[in-house]
Structure 1
């Protein structure tokens, strides 16, 4: 498997623990989305289950690796969002799923080695599911590994976090991220990396999806509203129809740039009539709105209120 260079240190530490026969029974893989946590998880799990692994790296051709590739390995499972009785996908991991997991882990490994279960996203467990998982974490079976993957680990109860070894994948240095993007053929890697807040995984995905053009459009929309040329309602509708959370991410970046420009040159490129304090408040509001879009509130009203305050 192709490993991301910023995984190397965590990988080495885990392999050293494996060599000492000191593997933990639960790992919490966390960090911003886009840094390859799930690739790391699958690579590690496959190496643990592989019968011919070299320094933890899976061979890719033994029976275990072939079963994993086919999604039929009896000692590996991924627990994620299940379906309700009406066939609609749930938005959280529920207690019945954890109970089924506990029953599965109580049985012996079919291949006589490790049993590996990944809970992804672990921060989507509801309170009852998290409480049910505690017993499994407190009384682990031999050669059983739980891999919890979370973009927002703070949403997990402290009782869960304290019983897992934490592997937190941080943003790499800018030079390392740029080199990785350039090797991957990303055009204008520096601009893409800035747009993604230094996150190379997001930068690559956004560059491939045309997000840089969307970022420029957001800047133009805010400049037009500041000058009284745009309509907040029309802009809100257009943002809601196309990647609204990403547009709000870019809007926050634009305001941060405006504040920096005012601090150094006394005037910003958007020519907003808001003073520095109001800009700072709007920055907070735009991030709060991005979170609120994931909830039950109407997105069009949230965006309209935000953009009306900007204008």
Structure 2
């Protein structure tokens, strides 16, 4: 499994604990999306279960590794969004899933080693599920490991966070991130990294799916609205139909750059008519709107309200 260079410090620390037989019973892997938390989790879990690991790295050839790769290892389970009775995927992790998990961890390991469960995204547990998990965290079984993966760990109750060893992934330096992108053949690595606010994983994904073109479209739309040439409703419809959360990220980014340019030269590239206080509030609202898209409110109305304020 190819490791990202900014994983090295966390990996070395965990392997040192493993060699001392001082592994925690729960790890919280957290940080911005795009930094490889889930790759790290799978690599670490597979290494723990491997029958002949090398410094924690899975061999990829033993029976345990083959079962893990096939998704059928009896001592590893991944818990995520389940299905409702009508077959629709849930938007949260519910208490029955955690109870099933606890029952599984109460059983002995079939390979005679670790039993590992990953909960991802852990920050999607509802209150009842989190309370049920707390009981498992307070009374861990021997040789069991809970791996909680969260992009937004602040959504987890403090009682959960305090009972986990926290592994926090931070953005690498600009030079390290740029070198990593260039090694992967990203053509306009600087622009991609700027669009992703220094996050190399997001930059790679966005460079591959046309996000840089969407970023330019967002700026063009905001410039047109500021000049009175665009229609907020038409823009909101287009944004909602194609990566609305990503477009809101770029919109907030554009507002921040507008504020920065205005502070230097008195005029930003988008020629926004909002005063400094209103522009700052619009930036905050754009980020809140991105989060609100995950909820029950109508996305078209959220976008329309935001864009009408810019107009």
User: Is structure 2 residue 119 aligned with structure 1 residue 108?
Assistant: no
Q: Report the counterpart of residue 51 of structure 1 in structure 2.
A: 51
**Runs of 4+, deviation exceeding 6 Å:** none
> For residues 100-132 of structure 1, what are the alpha-carbon distances to aligned partners after superposition, in whole Å with 9 as ceiling and x for unaligned?
111111111001011111011111111111111
After superposition, residues 24-39 of structure 1 pair within 5 angstroms as: 24-39=24-39
Q: 3-state SS of the aligned residue for 1:280?
A: helix
Q: Report the counterpart of residue 144 of structure 1 in structure 2.
A: 144
Q: 3-state SS of the aligned residue for 1:77?
A: strand
Q: TM-score, normalised by structure 1?
A: 0.99
Q: 3-state SS of the aligned residue for 1:28?
A: strand
Output the CA distance in 2 between the equivalents of 1:293 and 1:107: 40
Q: Report the counterpart of residue 90 of structure 1 in structure 2.
A: 90
Q: 3-state SS of the aligned residue for 1:206?
A: helix
Q: Report the counterpart of residue 271 of structure 2 in structure 1.
A: 271
After superposition, residues 157-306 of structure 1 pair within 5 angstroms as: 157-306=157-306
Aligned residues, how many?
A: 311
> For residues 47-71 of structure 1, what are the alpha-carbon distances to aligned partners after superposition, in whole Å with 9 as ceiling and x for unaligned?
0000010000000000000000111
Output the CA distance in 2 between the equivalents of 1:280 and 1:292: 19
Alpha-carbon RMSD: 0.7
Output the CA distance in 1 between the equivalents of 2:7 and 2:272: 42
> For residues 220-251 of structure 1, what are the alpha-carbon distances to aligned partners after superposition, in whole Å with 9 as ceiling and x for unaligned?
10111111111111111111111111101000
Output the CA distance in 2 between the equivalents of 1:272 and 1:136: 53
Output the CA distance in 2 between the equivalents of 1:126 and 1:302: 24
Cα shift at 1:253: 0.7
> For residues 266-302 of structure 1, what are the alpha-carbon distances to aligned partners after superposition, in whole Å with 9 as ceiling and x for unaligned?
1111111111111111111111111111111111111
Q: TM-score, normalised by structure 2?
A: 0.99
Q: Report the counterpart of residue 310 of structure 2 in structure 1.
A: 310
Cα shift at 1:205: 0.3
Q: 3-state SS of the aligned residue for 1:228?
A: coil
Output the CA distance in 2 between the equivalents of 1:41 and 1:308: 43
Q: 3-state SS of the aligned residue for 1:166?
A: strand
After superposition, residues 69-84 of structure 1 pair within 5 angstroms as: 69-84=69-84
Output the CA distance in 2 between the equivalents of 1:154 and 1:270: 34
Cα shift at 1:85: 1.1
Cα shift at 1:2: 0.4
Structure 1: gaps of 5 or more residues: none
